[in-house]
Amino acid sequence: MSRVVVFFLQTLLAVAVLGGLFAQVVVIPGTAEGEVELFPPYESVRLPFVVFAIVFIVCLQVLAVALGGMLQRAGEGTVFESGALLWTNVAIGAIAGGGVVLASLFVYVTFADIPSPADGMEVLGLWMGSAVGTIAAIGVALLVVIGRQWLGRAIAQRAELEQVV
């Protein structure tokens, strides 16, 4: 892979990580505060939702770092060495962590008494979105696990070929 492409993609990932940091420090707490000002009964659920959002973004940031590490290996031509499995494991853990956050949000929304300024559709949307997100995270994590298995086989075959040659 071209070093220019690798650098460009890693720069985009770094911008995404910094954007996530900005969201964690400024956007999420500010938005939560604004929502509480508009609808004071939200005060009882502000902290849990802020925590869910911040932890979910941490999972995305860890995933971005893992992708950056794999891009670095692609740029160096070392994707098919055993160290690449570490970055794949980190990616799987980040995706699984995000899935756990979404599943926890689903359970929280299911059992918490969340106030609604209107007809409760926003709570239903959050409930359904967290359910679909959990299922999607499980699916993506399983796909990456399969990719990791393929990568492991390719690494083993490369090592075997190097012994033959």
Q: Is the pLDDT of residue 3 over 90?
A: no
Number of domain units in the chain: 1
pLDDT score recorded for residue 27: 98
163: confidence class by pLDDT, cuts 50, 70, 90? confident
* 138: containing domain: 3-164
119: confidence class by pLDDT, cuts 50, 70, 90? confident
Q: By percentage, how much of the chain surpasses pLDDT 90?
A: 85
Query: Do 152 and 85 meet the contact criterion of CB atoms below 8 Å apart?
Result: yes
pLDDT score recorded for residue 164: 84
If we measure between CA atoms, which residue out of 148, 26, 19 comes closest to residue 95? 148
Query: Do 95 and 139 meet the contact criterion of CB atoms below 8 Å apart?
Result: no
Average pLDDT (145-164) is 92
Could you give the CA distance from residue 33 to residue 44 in angstroms, rounded to a whole number? Answer: 12
Q: Work out the mean pLDDT of the chain and round it to a whole number.
A: 94
Query: Do 84 and 70 meet the contact criterion of CB atoms below 8 Å apart?
Result: yes
Indicate if the alpha-carbon torsion angle 49, 51, 53, 59 is positive or negative. Answer: negative
Average pLDDT (6-29) is 97
pLDDT score recorded for residue 70: 95
Burial letters for 38-50: b for 16+ Cβ neighbours within 10 Å, e otherwise? Answer: eeeebeebeeebb
125: confidence class by pLDDT, cuts 50, 70, 90? very high
Which tens digits make up the pLDDT trace of 70-93?
Answer: 999 999 989 988 889 999 999 999
